[in-house]
Amino acid sequence: MRSPKTYGWRAAPLWPLLAKELREITNGRALWTMLLLLCPLVGYSFFQAVSLYGEASTAALQSPVLANSLSPLDGILVPTLGSFYVAVTLLFPFVAIRALGQEKETGALRLLVQLPYRPSTLVSAKLAAVLGAWSLASIPALSALILWRILGGHVAAVETANLLFGHMVYGLLVGALALFSASIADSASTAAIIALAVTIGSWVLDFTVAGNPGLLSWIAQLSLTQTLRPFEQGLLSGGRVLGAACVIFGLIALTTVWLPPGVPPLGKLRRSLPWVLIVALMLGAAAQVRLTFDVTEDRRNSFPAVDQKLLATLPLPLLVTVHLAPEDPRYADLQRNVLAKLERAMPTVSVALARPRQGFSGGSSDEAYGEVEYVYGNRSDISRSTSPREILPLLYALAGVSLPAPTPGSEYSGYPLVASADAALFWFFGGLPLLIVLCWWWIRRPPSNSLAYKGGTS
């Protein structure tokens, strides 16, 4: 009789498990239904985006100055993929839950956990299948990008790849959340309720609480939607990517804890606590990572290249004290146009918000309200401007360096395009859905390669 060690997890190949997980997801109706719903959603968003972009381009073709602001990232990619984001938020949990919920409901999980795989391997294979499902679900959005190219539109490779990467991270977040929901719930429907409560809840949180000061602002940062924002702005934020990776890792670790049947919930809760603490610590560490890259073609998140180079050479820390309330729109302008760019360009920048003094009537009685103080070395200056055109000369004066000469021809010229996306509607409302239905039928057709085993001895 063989030793039990013979059947340890090291002996088992991974590919049958991965193939089974992928089959489990593609066999379900949820993925194909989502794909079919995505066609009109993405198609109409794309059609509208191209129409609006064309209208703006008509004026821009007569005035090159207007063309500067015409970037396909804002005009086409973000709105088109925005509908994909909505579908991932609302529909993708149903697709991902199937990867685990089906096995729980049919009892197959009790067979699966006996196979020679670690629970973490089982869950990782499910996440890989969820990623595969997300890739399939992104086909309508990807086809919109191809159509845009066919129409003559411009696609900047790096910023587009960054945006798609952001959507993939968001999809993995939703997928990991769905897997965790399926692991703690007894049925797929309960798991769907849990997952949707979180995704829709964080969506609501994002647009009701965002922009508010203090604790509410911090709570808004917890929204899943926040993950996508820097990517839509053309930023590759190291902290945000690491943070999302930590959350995905945490959800997968918790799913692994909650996967095995038979362990009492209290025991699973006890085992979950260390993981929650570890992930909280990892998130804290990820929040400290300030590394961010501006991957946009128009460099909208950066100062002009010559300024970037010069600012990077300034060795001393820059202290900025802002006398503005966080909810003041001027603060948002300053943050976007100056402070965020400075933080990325200079080695050390510290920004402090000075609390404005309150008058008897409840309004601000601080005469300094609206001022922004810049301290570099032992020199300081004050400005009320939120424009880099005024702030950069001020900083160069503080640092004692002369203004860099602008490089001619380095300005973004924009990509105006007047095109009609009418033909695209035929693709999104006819061709692509038909193709999806055909693929669905092909996958659901009676399998025929069972003949391989028919020659066995009987």
Which residues sit at the interface with another protein, rule CB under 8 A?
1-2, 4-8, 11-13, 15-17, 19-20, 23-24, 27-28, 102-103, 106-108, 110-111, 113-116, 260-264, 267, 446-450, 452-458
Alpha-carbon span 90 to 151, nearest angstrom: 30
| Least Å from the CB of residue 2 to another protein | 6
Three-state DSSP class for 154? coil
Name which of 115, 96, 111 is nearest 22 in CA terms: 96
Minimum distance from residue 1 beta carbon to another protein (Å): 5
Q: How far is CA 361 from CA 214, 354, 358, in A?
A: 22, 20, 8
Decide: 234 and 293 in contact? Cβ < 8 Å. no
Region class of 262: left (phi > 0), else alpha (psi between -120 and 50), else beta: left
CB of 9 to another protein, least distance (A): 9
Residue 120 Cβ, how far from another protein at the closest point, in Å? 13
Between residues 264 and 409, which has the closer beta carbon with respect to another protein? 264
- Max CA separation in the chain (angstroms): 96
**Cβ proximity to another protein, 120 vs 383, nearer residue:** 120
Which residue, 20 or 149, is less far from another protein as judged by CB? 20
Cα 182 versus chain centre, distance:
22
Beta-bridge partners for 358? 364
201 vs 267, beta carbon nearer another protein:
267
CB 248 within 8 A of CB 168: no
CB of 271 to another protein, least distance (A): 12
| Contact of 112 with 103, CB cutoff 8 Å | yes
Q: How far is CA 15 from the centre of its chain?
A: 29
Give the residue with the Cβ less far from another protein, 110 or 357.
110
Pick 6 or 361: Cβ nearer another protein: 6
Tell me the closest approach of the beta carbon of residue 103 to another protein, in angstroms.
8
**Least distance in Å: CB of 129 to another protein?**
13
Answer for the pair 309, 270: CB distance below 8 angstroms, yes or no: no
Query: Which of 233, 231, 232 is CA-nearest to residue 241?
Result: 231
**Least CB distance to another protein at residue 264 (A):** 7
Measure the CA angle with vertex 232, ends 191 and 85; round to 5°. Answer: 30
Of residues 11 and 157, the one with the C-beta less far from another protein: 11
Phi-psi category of 438—alpha, beta or left, where left has phi over 0 and alpha has psi -120 to 50?
Answer: alpha
Alpha carbon distances (Å) from 68 to 111, 264, 334 = 61, 62, 21
Which residue number, 288 or 448, has a Cβ lying nearer to another protein? 448
Shortest CB 317 distance to another protein, Å: 53
Instruction: Calculate helix-pair angle for 78-90, 92-106, nearest 10 degrees.
Output: 20
Q: 107 or 315, CB closer to another protein?
A: 107
